[in-house]
Amino acid sequence: MKPLRTQPGSLPFLLYEDTTKMDVGFKLMLVGILAMTLGVGIYLLFGEPDEIEGAFAMFGVTAFDALLFKYIMSPRFQIYSDRVRIVFGGPFAWNIPLSTIKEVRSASGAKAFAYNGVRFATSSRNVVEITRIRGCNVVISPSNKEIFLEQANRALGSQRSLSGNN
């Protein structure tokens, strides 16, 4: 494929967008955490009559965890002509400038669960590592790892050819 050609100073544009790939085991773990806090809340509500406040506190924890899982554990991944963007729910997103990325490559499944950096990987099969020159390294799990890698490396190559870095 030909490298992307963008004019220096032109507005960045979206090249590719992908969603999170989540393993069944990971989904079961999240559901288990929510079921456990909900179960404790129900027990406190009906099993311990003096613990109404505790029951409502556990229901609040369950709702907070559900929102946290929805927004943090299921981001979208966008590749722009000048950055990789991890989009969480609402206005929350993390931009990683291409100029700070050393390489984007496939990683082992073990890095999905143990990694020295920021870990947004939710699948042991679709693990992509973003190694950075400056800043924290990141592991993610895009739904289509091959296309994500192709598009990210293509954008990275274009960025380097425009800036004169090889």
Residue pLDDT, tens place only, 53-73? 999 999 999 999 999 888 887
Q: Reply yes or no on whether the pLDDT at 3 is more than 60.
A: no
Query: 114 is in which domain, residue-wise?
Result: 14-20+75-163
Q: Reply yes or no on whether the pLDDT at 161 is more than 60.
A: yes
Sequence-distant (6+) residues with CB within 8 A of 115 are 121, 137, 139
Q: Is residue 51 part of a domain?
A: yes
Question: Which band of pLDDT confidence, cut at 50, 70 and 90, is reported for residue 2?
Answer: very low
The two beta strands, 101-106 and 128-132, are: antiparallel
Q: What is the rounded radius of gyration, in angstroms, for the C-alpha atoms of the chain?
A: 20
Model pLDDT for residues 15-26, shown as the tens digit of each residue: 999 999 888 988
Model pLDDT for residues 79-129, shown as the tens digit of each residue: 999 999 999 877 889 999 999 999 999 988 777 777 788 888 888 888 999
More confident residue, 163 or 132: 132
Order across the sheet with 101-106: list the strands: 101-106, 128-132, 138-140, 118-120
Kindly state whether residues 63 and 92 are assigned to the same domain. no
Q: For the chain, how many structural domains are there in total?
A: 2
